[in-house]
Each structure stands twice: as structure tokens, then as C-alpha cells.
Homo-oligomer: A and B are copies of this chain.
């Protein structure tokens, strides 16, 4: 199959490991990961790391990508107030293609108004917001509901990463070894 192309949405104050680990993992499996944000340029992680936003939302469309990944930290609340980010997310979820969100990542899904009737997890600090958005919050390491893949916190990254790889057709065997390299 063609090399899977993944869009990771970023803004300042992203949770470092929740962006960098899935990016490295997916790339190690052979996927291309494109970082997208409100504007091109460097963004700061909340723990001091940096990543480059390669394209702005104005430069991309959902149909270019096979999967959307939303890391946590403070980035989702910075993205959820940007109309283009919310619109991109809404259209991506509606496409039926896989969407992975971890920790505070579902804040962007709440603002995209796509959680009605969906089952998901997140950091527990936003569980009431997920419920009020119509989502069914559960406290589990990994939740896969149709195209929606969610985890709670950085300690869930090995299983989250594995599920992301699988969702774009990158085999369990490769995914497992990647997850192991990620610290499982």
C-alpha cells in the first residue's frame, strides 16, 4: 500500500511526549507525519521541547491525509479557539478516517462538536466536558470506538502508539516492536 500520511495538529504548550513519541513511532513504521498548526514555525512544548509546524491549516485539506493525531497538553485549548483548526477537525472526523486523541486532545473534538454518542477516554480533568458534549467518557488506557482512538496520559503512549500504527495499516508486528522501543 501507499505510505500512510498522518497529520498531527500542534500549537504552543503541547505535551512533549504526546507529540514526539507518536510522531517518532509512526515514522519508524514508515508513515509520513506532517505537523499542522494555525501558522508555520516553531512551537514550544510545555516541558521545554520544540517542534516545527510545517504547514498552516490554510495550506492543507483533510483529504490529503490518512489519519489525524491530536496530542494533549495546552495545545488543544489553543487550537480549539481557531476556526480553521475546528473546521479541519470536524471535517476529518466526518470523513470516517482514523482520529487519535490523547489527554487534553479531546478538547478540540468537543469544540468540533463531534462527540455526540461516541465512547472515549481522556485525562480525567476534562471528563465532565466530554460528558456535556454528549460523549460517553470511560477511564481506560485505550479506547477505540469506530474511527476514534483515545488514551488518557503519557503513560498510555505505548498502547496509543500501537493503535495509531494499526489504524493506518502498519502491522501489529512492527507496531509492537515500535511500542517496545518506546518504553513499554
Contacts and interface: CB of A to CB of B under 8 A. Distances in A.
Interface in A118-147: 124-129, 132-133
Contacts of A129: 107, 110, 126, 129, 132-133
Contacts of A127: 81
A10 to B, nearest CB: 16
Contact of A77 (B80, B125, B132): B125
A132 B130 CA distance: 9
| Identical chains bound together, number | 2
Contacts of A81: 124-125, 127
Nearest to A77: B125
Interface string A89-116: 0000000000000000001001100000
A56 B61 CA distance: 50
Interface string A48-83: 000000000000000000000000000001101100
Interface residues of A, number: 15
A180 to B, nearest CB: 32
Interface in A4-48: none
A80 B128 contact: yes
Given A110-B129, A110-B132, A132-B132, 7 more contacts: A77-B126, A78-B125, A80-B125, A80-B128, A107-B129, A129-B133, A132-B133
20 contacts: A77-B125, A77-B126, A78-B125, A80-B125, A80-B128, A81-B124, A81-B125, A81-B127, A107-B129, A110-B128, A110-B129, A110-B132, A111-B128, A126-B129, A128-B133, A129-B129, A129-B132, A129-B133, A132-B132, A132-B133
